Chain A
């Protein structure tokens, strides 16, 4: 019964979360904290931090975490499935529409408007992450709040990426190891 409830809760999250994982978080809070009281607000805040700190899509991270806490491994699987099912149905329909209509001028027009919007949305998400990485969670931009180790790692990583085009995964892990080592070994 709890598994069915979990599935249905995350099905609704997947169905109504327009705009990706960050848009899903308020919906997850509604389901998990308000309606079902599976987590309290403090645990939910930790959940958000963990979901953002760990690799993978944020909504799936959150679904797995809640599922594990509520009903162990079966809970994790069911919550993930619930989150994915609406996407699978809706997106497959859209994929068919895309293949059928992609040569039509009107559809091309809509897509030519959506493409620049897609770039803008990624840029905007990138700005948030950049500010978080360089100035900490307060979001306060000033010379005092800047994390100079992070600034150094960022510049170095960007330089390496533009110049040699290596695998991004290598660059991210490299920046992480370098930054953590400098911080903990030099500054305690």
Chain B
């Protein structure tokens, strides 16, 4: 089912639902946004969505908020950006202020604790699925630099705990140099 015309209401409801049901923060929310807006709705191309995620990660602030702003702005201008960020921020505002008030009771309920724990396994499966698809897209291009960058960035962040900003800066610089060395004409293809 593809809605070709981006609309404010669908945008709002989509980000609201993703923010309301997604456990695990920005790194889980962003892949879900990609799934919703590029696979299900077909409003944004895969490549462009990945650009937005990359930009969102390079800017300060919550990644989910940044991505929702970029997405909203791309689809429906400033209006879209505001609606999108509102949809992302409302669920935590509602849920967390309730928890803030009923904090003590919430912590001790064993059903809630068990549900939260078990949901993590589902969250992990969703991320693995998304990373699988995204990494497969990079491999499919059969270009050495992006594949090496991806593996090197993962090694740096996961095994050596290198600062994320440093990783992003280096990857951006290497990408720039790579395009420059290959010359303008090939970079445009």
Chain A interface (Cβ < 8 Å from any Cβ of B): 14-24, 46, 50-61, 64-65, 67-69, 73, 76-77, 80, 83-84, 86-88, 90-92, 94-95, 98-99, 102, 105-106, 108-127, 129-130, 132-134, 147, 149-151, 153-155, 157-158, 161-162, 168-169, 171-180, 183-184
Are A88's CB and B100's CB within 8 A? no
Taking CB atoms, residues of chain B closer than 8 Å to A158 are 125, 128-129
Taking CB atoms, residues of chain A closer than 8 Å to B62 are 14, 17, 20-21, 24, 57-60, 83, 87
Q: A21-B26, A105-B187 are in contact. Are A133 and B179 (CB under 8 A)?
A: no
In the complex, what distance in Å separates the CA atom of A169 from the CA atom of B74? 25
Nearest A residue to B39, CB-CB: A165
User: Can you show 11 pairs from A to B with CB atoms below 8 A apart?
Assistant: A18-B165, A19-B165, A20-B57, A50-B99, A90-B61, A106-B176, A106-B179, A122-B53, A126-B128, A150-B120, A179-B115
In the complex, what distance in Å separates the CA atom of A29 from the CA atom of B107? 21
Are B93's CB and A14's CB within 8 A? no
Are A114's CB and B115's CB within 8 A? no
Other-chain contact of B121, A76, A90, A113, A150 (Cβ < 8 Å):
A150
In the complex, what distance in Å separates the CA atom of A73 from the CA atom of B51? 36
Taking CB atoms, residues of chain B closer than 8 Å to A92 are 69, 73, 78, 81
Taking CB atoms, residues of chain A closer than 8 Å to B96 are 50-51, 54, 56, 60-61, 64-65, 68, 76
| Tally of chain B residues near chain A (CB < 8 A) | 106
In the complex, what distance in Å separates the CA atom of A47 from the CA atom of B56? 25
Are A109's CB and B187's CB within 8 A? yes
Taking CB atoms, residues of chain A closer than 8 Å to B175 are 109-114
Nearest A residue to B18, CB-CB: A169
